[in-house]
Amino acid sequence: MSNELQNKINARVRLYLKKFTQKVDMYLLHNYSRNDAYIAMNHIVSGRGYKIINRQTKKQIKDYCKKTFGKSDFWPYLALYTEIRGEFIPGWLPQDYYWLKMLPQWNPYPQNQLCNLKTFDHKLFTNFSLTPLFVKISDHFFNPEFQMVSEIELMDFFKNYDKLIVVKEEFGRGGHEVSILKSTEFEPKKLKRGQNYVIQPFVEQYELLNQLHPHSVNTFRVNTFLEENGSVSVRYAFLRFGSNGVKVDNLSSGGKWVFYDMEGKPSESAYDEHGLEVGKKHENTGFEFSKLIIPKFHEMLEKCKEAHRKFPYIKMIGWDVCFDKEGNPILLEWNADQQNIYAIEGNFGPFFPDIIASMKA
């Protein structure tokens, strides 16, 4: 067999294996997401004490799925939304369809992975992203201008800095792989070899957000979308906050969230990660959520839209923004891969009705 023929055969085999692997991944992700929907539904129903979905509603949802998405298989998340909201609303986007069908088109690989390179954010989004103290890349330390510094220079700086710092691993998710410590306690040898890190100053947050929960930096998630006409819109925004002294506000770590409309008005109640209402005041501080009025809310939205225009390679971006002591919005991270939308879509959506209306099964 000639080398040329062998190369053609090998190429076809690799292509077949790639397609097969992608199908398996999608099948597993679909099953996982459906199971996730069932778990969340059980949480909502047990927390509320009664069920909304009946045989008639389930049929209505399945018919809507088949007509809109081509299959009735996507019904579980819409059933979850219905349990959250108390009624079924056409125009909702099922989270698994969003993950499996929409995001791969909106945010293709590998462009969607740049958000995980946290050591580069301050260069990409100048005057919005938090400027790090140092970054660790390829087992070397650099200042924000990517000039190499020695460990001796690094430790001398931290000894004199004597403030809290935040150490984040690249590709970390959900608030994990994040450490908050005094600069004098930093030990370079404890960082994983071959792993990149960003070392940031700890942000002293806006007083109102500090009163809400002082133990965590409480951040907004702003989701922007690159529209067909090239403009950037804000699809939704919500504030996450910590509870019970936990130092992070991530929902997976017990954090809660408050929805904001586009005028900057917060919802009266907060919600847990599954979308279940948890009350109108913070469980520890007693702060009323309706009083969380942020003066520079609209400036934050504009900065997120401006940042998205600097990276038009993907359509959907989630921006994690805090407010400093002076009330200025600062970008901490951004996200372009799988984001959970079911709690906010169920409670306050639909947020993509225009896209749903334009779809043809």
Which residues are 168's β-sheet partners?
A: 178, 198
CA 263 – CA 273 distance, rounded (Å):
24
Report pLDDT digits (tens) over 264-301: 999 999 999 999 999 999 999 999 999 999 999 999 99
Give the pLDDT confidence score for residue 1 in this predicted structure.
57
CA 216 – CA 304 distance, rounded (Å):
22
Which positions of the chain have pLDDT values less than 70? 1-33, 173-176, 360-361
Which residues are 201's β-sheet partners?
A: 165
Report pLDDT digits (tens) over 92-110: 999 999 998 999 999 999 9
Distance of CA 114 to the CA centre of its chain: 14
Give the pLDDT confidence score for residue 213 in this predicted structure.
98
Cite the beta strand spans of the chain per DSSP E.
134-137, 140-142, 148-149, 164-169, 178-182, 197-201, 220-226, 232-241, 256-260, 270-271, 277-279, 316-323, 329-335
Give the pLDDT confidence score for residue 172 in this predicted structure.
74
* Amino acid in the structure at residue 19: K
Cα dihedral sign for 108, 351, 222, 275?
A: negative
Question: How many C-beta atoms lie closer than 10 Å to residue 221's C-beta?
Answer: 21
Question: How many C-beta atoms lie closer than 10 Å to residue 97's C-beta?
Answer: 24
| Closest to 328 measured CA to CA, from 291, 279, 294 | 294
Integer-rounded Cα Rg, in Å, for the chain is 23
Q: Which residues of 112-137 are buried (b: 16+ CB within 10 A; e: fewer)?
A: beebbebbbbbebbeebbbebbbbbb
CA 351 – CA 195 distance, rounded (Å):
37
Give the pLDDT confidence score for residue 21 in this predicted structure.
55
